[in-house]
Amino acid sequence: MRTVREGDVMIERTIKLNIDIAPEELAFCFCNMSSEGQARFFNEIAVCVAKWDKPFCFQLSALTSEAILTLDGRRVMEQIGEYAKEE
């Protein structure tokens, strides 16, 4: 909110922006989070997918079928799965 005073008159402006975050930007932000922030990120993903009509595995199946997913990207997913296993 920006407030400008002109004499006794106050002018207020509220500006709303809709900004689409590119996947590359989101990945950059994730990589610069603390481990606590990254854990909160995955916790929030769990909250979001719990509201979906279909189980998360359907999205994972679609994701892994994408031609744009590189071998490096797939390896990151595999590493997350390995480290996320409860011991």
- Supply 86's token pair: 């409860």
Q: What is the mean pLDDT of residues 1-13?
A: 68
Location of structure tokens 């407030």: 3
- Supply 5's token pair: 């005073």
Domain segments of the chain: what residues? 22-49, 52-87
Spell out the SS3 assignment of the chain.
Answer: CEEEEECCEEEEECCCCCCCCCHHHHHHHHHCCCHHHHHHHHHHHHHHHCCCCCCHHHHHHHHHHCCCCCHHHHHHHHHHHHHHCCC
Beta bridge pairs of residue 5: 10
Percent of the chain with pLDDT over 90: 82
Computed over every residue of the chain, the mean pLDDT equals 91
Task: From 65, 84, 83, select the one nearest 74 (Cα to Cα).
Answer: 65
Q: What is the mean pLDDT of residues 38-47?
A: 97
**pLDDT given at position 83:** 93
pTM of the predicted structure, to 2 decimals = 0.74
